[in-house]
Structures are given as C-alpha cells and as structure tokens.
Amino acid sequence: MLIIQKKTRRDFMRVGADSLLSAAAFAALSAVAAPATQSGDAPMQTRRGERGRFKSVDEALAQGVSNGTAAGVVALAADSRGVIYEAAYGKRDLAGGASMTQETVFWLLSMTKAITATACMQLVEQGKLSLDQPMSQVLPQLEAPKVLEGFDASGTPKLRPAKRAITLRHLLTHTSGFTYSNWSDCIPQYEKATGMPDIAESRNGAFASPLEFDPGDRWQYGIGMDVVGKIIEAVSDESLEIYFREHIFEPLGMANTGFLISSAQKRRTATIYSRQADGWLKAMPFEMPQRPEFFSGGGGLFGTPRDYMVFLQMLLRDGTFNGAQILRPETVGAMRTNQIGDLDVNPLKSSAPAWSNDANLFPGMQQKWGLSFDINTRPGPNGRSAGSYSWAGLLNCYYWVDPVKKVTGAMFTQLLPFYDARVVDLYGAFERGLYDGLARV
C-alpha cells in the first residue's frame, strides 16, 4: 500500500516538496495538452469512428491540463460492446516531464473497495459467507464491539457495549459504526488519547477502533471494507494480494493491478500533487512500503486506468468479461441495489481539510448504498440514469456504471485534497461530453 512510512494521514499532508510548481511549468502545460500514448502500449481497441463523437471531451480534458486543474488526467469509457473512449493528457510528473498515459500506475485508494466487495461476494456465492451473518463468527475480535460515546474531563474515552452484532452487510454498506478519522470528529481524538494507529498506516492496531454508533443505526463512510479484507483472508486462507490475483485479476487480464508493484511499475507511478490555497500544485513525495501489516481492502491497490476499465466492464456486463465469469448476474444486481433500507447516504463532512474537502456526489438528491456503491436515485445532472452506481478514490479518481444506458466511465488524477472543485467540474464535463456523443446518430 502506498503510504508515508511510519506516518499518519495528517503527517502525510505535512510532507511536501520544497518548491511549488512554477508559473513557467504551468505555461508549459499547454504544450503537452494532447492525447498521450506510451510507446509500445497496445490500444484497447476503441471502435473505429467513435473518437470523433467525443470532441468536447478531448477539449475539456486538454483545457483541464492547460489551466492547471491537474498535472495530468486519464479518462476512459465503454459501453456493452467495448471501449468507446480513452485519452491521456498532460504529465504524470511535471519535474521529470514524463507524459501521462493510459498505462500510468495510479494509487486507486477507495476505488479498491469495489474490488474487495467483488471478492467478498464471490465467497457469498460459494456459501462461505452470508450477508446477515455476525462477523464475530469469522473474526473473534468483533465479538464485543464498543461504541465511543465521548470523552470525560480528563480526555479518557467513554465506551459502552454495542447494542447489536456487526454483520457482513453492515461492513459492506458503511452502516457498521466503523468510521474514518478524516470524516470523524471523535476518532482522531481517540487515536491521540490511546495511541491507536490510523488505518492508513496499514498496522493491525487500527482494528482496535471503537464504533461511533450502533451497527445499522445510520450510514457513515468508514473502515468497514478493511475489515472485509480481513474476513476474506480468514475465510479463503489466502492474503488479499494472492486472492485478488488468482480470482479477479488473472481471469480478467488485469496484469498491472495489485498491492505489491514491481520496480518497472513504480517507475510509471503518477506523482501526487496537492492544490495550494492560491491554486498552485505542489508535488508530494511518498514511499511505498512493501511489507504492510495488512493489505488494505479499503484503499491499498495500485493499478492502471486500462486495468480498472476492464473491471468496470465486467460489472457493466453483469459479472462476465473476456470469457471469465467473476460474479453471477444476480450478484451484480444485488450489489447495485439499495442495501440500506430507509437510511440515506449522508454528505461527507471533512475533519481534515488538507486531506479532503466536504463531499457530496449528488447534492440535493437522496442517495442509497449498495454493496460498495453510491446509488443516485434520480437521473444525474450530467447524463447518467437513475439507478447508476459509482464511487471514487481519495486522489480525485472517479467512476460510474450506468446499467440502464449500458455505459461506464472513469477519470483518473493524483491530486489532493479530495473532491477538488475544479476536478469535479472536469469530471462533469467528461460525463456530459460522453453522453452527448452517445446521443449522436
């Protein structure tokens, strides 16, 4: 997993390159705002004649690089017959001048969650797990969960027993009570008071986190998918690295995705940038420890945009792609269906502004949650159908799958903080341009 070694999320945010991206470098971006294809890369076989329908997407992405929205961006889309759009603009590393390509390696972060959920649902299909099974039957450490009710005058945490057991459904739907520190006012204080490591450090001590509410009481984004990763390992008797490779990546041909990456892949990894208050981009150095205490099912994968588009096409085609059946159609149907009942997805309120802005993928719209996906209950403002499902990665990567119009799209950057307004606008322009192009006869 890509983390700053021996540092927390907040430490990561304090580390940066000594110099900001210069005005001269920004001016140079306009010269590289053109589709990039890495020498020797095999194309994804975009269908003949499709590219011209999406001129507005090309223009938006090129402008997004030239105006400094991102140092580089990759966007891809597919329908039920295959890839209909792919392009890369800008640089993966401004200092070194390396071009962004469709085979650039990205830290996927929370885009990992959909893959973890897929692995989990394979085990459900096999009868090795069930959605409403108490997970203490698999992980004894979940036997007696505690709910954090605040702190006393001395700063000591006040804990009480949870009212109900944690089920697999709770973990897959972010209704377990486990939360992330950067979306919580309480967990950072608990970490400080107890010395508990943050989940981003990939240390097993992070699983000692208390709950913020009783399982099933509400939706709040959290570390449940990391717990699911532990469950997959316990049931399969394999590490996530091996399980994902054998049961998902190799069958689909996703050769450039994994928790552990080669030196050659490391050389193709995109540089992470942080947007400063004045809009400039600042490079952020990072290390990639290859011996984490656990593989993060919530955010540890690296991969290329082309690999992730293969995974999305599998979902779009109800579980089967390139002759490999990863999931049954009815399983994919359940994953994209409301699994939280009368609860609603809540807007994300950031407690760490350097790490993330407040985020709401569909402001003013009731949103539901499937088995790892946000579901828009009404048509989206940029073209996607009601009932589409989507999510994102912390470094401003985004994807959606539209099961009605049979189209999927994804856009990749490596930029903090999350839900950057300029990148979100660019993502909207990509989606609008894609659907407008599809509507042309």
pLDDT digits (tens, 9 = 90+) for 265-298: 999 999 999 999 999 999 997 655 567 899 999 9
- Distance in angstroms (rounded) separating the CA atoms of residues 169 and 167: 5
Residue linked to tokens 């990749």 = 412
pTM for the model: 0.90
Active-site residue, 243 included:
no
128 catalytic per annotation: no
Q: Out of 110, 181, 236, 296, which one is annotated catalytic? A: 110
**389: helix, strand or coil:** strand
- Residue keyed to tokens 């996703």: 254
Cα 280 vs. chain centroid, distance in angstroms? 24
For residue 416, count CB atoms less than 10 angstroms from its CB and return exposed for 0-12, middle for 13-18, buried for 19 or more: buried
Establish whether 427 is a catalytic residue. no
What tens digit of pLDDT does each residue of 66-81 get? 999 999 999 999 999 9
pLDDT along the chain (441 residues), means of 10: 38 36 38 42 47 92 98 98 97 94 96 98 98 97 96 96 98 97 90 93 93 98 98 98 98 96 91 94 76 92 97 98 97 98 96 93 97 98 98 97 98 97 98 96 59
Percent of the chain having pLDDT more than 90? 81
pLDDT at 167: 98
- What span, in angstroms and rounded, lies between the C-alpha atoms of 104 and 84? 19
What's the confidence (pLDDT) of residue 26?
Answer: 39
Q: For residue 348, what are the β-bridge partners?
A: 359
The single residue of 85, 89, 91, 113 carrying the catalytic annotation is 113
In the predicted model, what is the mean pLDDT of the chain? 89
CB-CB contact of 214 with 17 (8 Å) = no
CA distance 428 to 432: 6
Catalytic residue among 180, 221, 243, 399: 221
Query: Cα separation of 386 and 400, whole Å?
Result: 12
